[in-house]
Structure 1
Amino acid sequence: MSDSTKVLLNIEDKNVFIDEVVRGDQAIQVKAHLTYVPKACSECGVLNQHTIIKYGWRTVHTRLPKTGEWAVVMHLRKQYYECHACRGHFLAHTSIVKRNCSISYNTHQACLSKLNESVSMKHIAQEMNTSPNFVSRVLNRFSSDFKTDYHHLPAALHIDEIKSTKDAQGSMSCVLMDSGYQLFRDILDVRSLSALTRYFKRYDLEVRNQVRFLVTDMNYTYPQLSEEIFPNVIVIIDRFYIINAIQCELNKTRIEVMKKFATSSREYKALKNIGNYYSNWPQTWIIRTFTALPSLNTSPLKLTLSIIY
């Protein structure tokens, strides 16, 4: 039973022995003990030549990864030792959990794997039976492994904005993407022209000359980078913002015309129905022609909208 339970819980430490498994109301309670014959004293380093004796137990509570959507808590009784050479005391060590920590190594690895998914830290914390602060600490611990490559830039660079977190310098952050392969490049705390200029000047001019297209929104800041930072670039406005601007202008015009009619009139209802129609246009637009409705006592009106994808 002990070996089977250790396999299910992914416990590889041979010195851990499972005593009992109880399923409670909120979590699976695993009772186990850890004991072995130490080779040397961890305090003074003297080899164990019958100088280290067992000196009782100390119980620690460790959170393991979930099993079948059930939280797992291990109550591990660690052997306590006394060294006759230095009169020091120490606990048995295990590969399950770090010293002075209550969250197992397997939980750390599972949390790091979940950080690759497009979910929030709060969601990961709920799945791992931990707190969002723990997930943030795991991310910060391995953040040094994700270094920006300052020797390469994509041919099509996409710059966009996202809402900043509380620890960011500005209210809006700047995201850099490889528009050709839809890959994430980097994220900046601020989106000011001076901050972007300082960031991109970390790249050599030869690397910056590789950028041929700069895809951005209608923010006036980003096109100014083409003057000094990217001399060979062509600025392209993202089609999403073009469509969004067209929809906003159409909606403004529709509302202004609607205010000229009574709410119970045919004209008001017809314009309201038109608004519901074009606000739900699909993402892929083709050439469409809209004519004035017969219910409107106006001259024939035609609006042709051409957007090529």
Structure 2
Amino acid sequence: MLYKYFTEKLLGLQDVNIEKVEEIDNSIHINCRLKRKPHKCPCCGKLTDKVHDYREQPIKDIPAFGKHIFIHLYKRRYRCSCGKRFPENVDFLPRYHRMTNRLSLYIIDKLRNEVSFSSVAREVNLSVSSVIRVFDLVSYAPKELPSAISIDEFKGNTNSETYQCILTDPVNKVVLDILPKRYEHFLTEYFNRFDKSQRDKVQFFVSDMWKPYSNISSVWFKNASQIVDKYHWIRQVIWAFEAVRKQEQKNFSKSHRRYFKKSRQLLLKRFHYLSDEEKQQVNVMLYTSPTLSTAHFYKEDFLKILDCKDRQSAKTAFSDWINSALDCGIPQFKKCANSMLNWLPGILNSFSSAITNGFTEGCNNKIKVLKRNTYGYRNFKRFRNRILHIFSHQMQKQAIV
């Protein structure tokens, strides 16, 4: 299809007469004016097409073809018979603004990525404060509680607080909210805002092994099954074994210490996943230290619990391992066994449901990228909106489905 007014179509400006387009250095300047038409007087309501005067208004638009775009709009002021003078209506430009609507939307869309305000400001040829002012128009209200809640903390360093808290829906992959603090009294105040009917709908509460989360779950979500994330209780055993390895290798020569350190992945990997050559290397390392050999046995014995298919078999396997670890004579594994004993109900619930904190941990990684690219945030409200804005596409997908 051929367009007669191809310049207007290319620029996306409707009812505009393009008078001149010129290129100056790294920018394109478009001189235009709106088509003249009658306007309603805001004072008396009568229609008038009498022009009082013209004013040239420079406007910034979205960049195109690798260049900055400036629109020089010759704007009319109309005069009514009642004596009122008023400017003509411009659909693509709000009153008192010096940038187009689509430039504001372009900025907001760019900020869905983990980029800084400064990088977006350089791209659109605006000041950083102008970009921030546009973004501050975006706000997100807390959402209703879903059937499953996942909670975790991340290092945000905002508002004089080291850690902030993230709430997600691990089933539908949606970020629910970002909280400024992770303390129990603050979480109590936050969840108290929701009606009891909403809290009773929550069936699963997923968290790591931090006591305030467990207390919140037992008090405010009585109908929910508390699940301790698998990653967090498995790494307790890995940490215990690593502590033993580091302790034992201090007794070795320098060359042996380096060898053990470089071969730590072989020791951590499940034994039956190793090749024959790797198994031989592990056996040689374990032969040098009876304590490390014992720790390796308990680590391997624990990892066999992961093969359990149901809660009851996992309960039996955990009971046997905890009783054995408490008498193993290795302080690190004794401490680990006590932790497992304290968190056993939540750990066993992870065998009854496939819900984990995986999505939440992935969100935390994305937040770290944002924080690194932007060199951190001092304003928590802006930081919260920025995070929720980045994950807002997931809410849109959920609405479409």
Instruction: Output the TM-score relative to the length of structure 2.
Output: 0.61
Take 2:260 and 2:67, find their aligned partners in 1: how far apart are those partners? 55
Aligned equivalent of 2:362: none
Take 1:293 and 1:133, find their aligned partners in 2: how far apart are those partners? 63
Q: For residue 273 of structure 1, report the CA deviation from its aligned partner.
A: 1.2
* Preserved contact between residue 214 and residue 234 of structure 1 (Cα < 8 Å): yes
Take 1:286 and 1:185, find their aligned partners in 2: how far apart are those partners? 40
* Preserved contact between residue 143 and residue 177 of structure 2 (Cα < 8 Å): no
**Counterpart residue identity of residue 64, structure 2:** T
Aligned equivalent of 1:71: 68
**Aligned mate of 1:158, from 150, 162, 171:** 150
**Counterpart residue identity of residue 214, structure 1:** F
Q: For residue 213 of structure 1, report the CA deviation from its aligned partner.
A: 2.0
Aligned equivalent of 2:137: 141
Aligned equivalent of 2:25: 25
Q: For residue 131 of structure 1, report the CA deviation from its aligned partner.
A: 4.7
Check 1:244–1:297 CA distance in 2 against 1; reply closer, same or farther (3 A cut).
closer
Take 2:21 and 2:271, find their aligned partners in 1: how far apart are those partners? 63
Describe the superposition over 1:178-229 as per-residue Cα deviations: whole angstroms up to 9, x where unpaired: 1122212122222221221122222233332222221112222111112310
Take 1:89 and 1:165, find their aligned partners in 2: how far apart are those partners? 52
**Aligned mate of 1:101, from 87, 97, 103:** 97
Q: For residue 46 of structure 1, report the CA deviation from its aligned partner.
A: 6.6
Query: Quick check: which one's strand share is greater?
Result: 1
Take 1:46 and 1:213, find their aligned partners in 2: how far apart are those partners? 60
Take 1:162 and 1:70, find their aligned partners in 2: how far apart are those partners? 39
Take 1:295 and 1:199, find their aligned partners in 2: how far apart are those partners? 51
SS in structure 2 of the partner of residue 177 of structure 1: strand
SS in structure 2 of the partner of residue 306 of structure 1: helix
Between 156-165 and 95-104, the greater mean CA deviation after superposition = 156-165
Q: Aligned ranges for residues 1-309 of structure 1 at < 5 Å? A: 3-12=5-14, 14=15, 16-34=16-34, 36-42=36-42, 44-45=43-44, 47=46, 52-55=50-53, 57-82=54-79, 85-86=82-83, 89-115=85-111, 117-122=112-117, 124-143=120-139, 146-150=140-144, 153-164=145-156, 166=158, 168=159, 170-263=161-254, 265=255, 267-275=256-264, 288=273, 291-293=282-284, 297-298=288-289, 301=293, 302-303=296-297, 304=300, 306=303, 308=306
**Counterpart residue identity of residue 162, structure 1:** F
Q: For residue 104 of structure 1, report the CA deviation from its aligned partner.
A: 0.6
Take 1:118 and 1:286, find their aligned partners in 2: how far apart are those partners? 42
Check 1:252–1:21 CA distance in 2 against 1; reply closer, same or farther (3 A cut).
farther
Q: Which has the higher contact order (CA 8 A, sep 6+)?
A: 2
**Counterpart residue identity of residue 30, structure 1:** I
Check 1:256–1:97 CA distance in 2 against 1; reply closer, same or farther (3 A cut).
same
| Identity, % of aligned positions | 23
Ranges in structure 2 where 5+ consecutive residues have no aligned partner: 308-401
SS in structure 1 of the partner of residue 284 of structure 2: coil
* Preserved contact between residue 30 and residue 70 of structure 2 (Cα < 8 Å): yes
**Counterpart residue identity of residue 77, structure 1:** Y
Q: How many residues are matched?
A: 291
Take 1:295 and 1:251, find their aligned partners in 2: how far apart are those partners? 14
Q: For residue 295 of structure 1, report the CA deviation from its aligned partner.
A: 9.9
Check 1:81–1:213 CA distance in 2 against 1; reply closer, same or farther (3 A cut).
closer
Q: For residue 60 of structure 1, report the CA deviation from its aligned partner.
A: 1.6
**Counterpart residue identity of residue 258, structure 1:** Q
Take 2:116 and 2:198, find their aligned partners in 1: how far apart are those partners? 35
Check 1:37–1:165 CA distance in 2 against 1; reply closer, same or farther (3 A cut).
farther
Q: For residue 230 of structure 1, report the CA deviation from its aligned partner.
A: 1.1
Check 1:59–1:207 CA distance in 2 against 1; reply closer, same or farther (3 A cut).
same
Instruction: Output the TM-score relative to the length of structure 1.
Output: 0.76
Describe the superposition over 1:254-282 as per-residue Cα deviations: whole angstroms up to 9, x where unpaired: 3333333332x3x2122121236578x7x
Take 1:219 and 1:208, find their aligned partners in 2: how far apart are those partners? 21
SS in structure 2 of the partner of residue 221 of structure 1: helix
Take 1:295 and 1:218, find their aligned partners in 2: how far apart are those partners? 31
Check 1:243–1:294 CA distance in 2 against 1; reply closer, same or farther (3 A cut).
closer
Take 2:179 and 2:244, find their aligned partners in 1: how far apart are those partners? 37
Check 1:164–1:294 CA distance in 2 against 1; reply closer, same or farther (3 A cut).
closer
* Preserved contact between residue 121 and residue 136 of structure 1 (Cα < 8 Å): no
Q: For residue 23 of structure 1, report the CA deviation from its aligned partner.
A: 3.1
Q: For residue 27 of structure 1, report the CA deviation from its aligned partner.
A: 2.5
Check 1:204–1:84 CA distance in 2 against 1; reply closer, same or farther (3 A cut).
closer
Aligned equivalent of 2:331: none
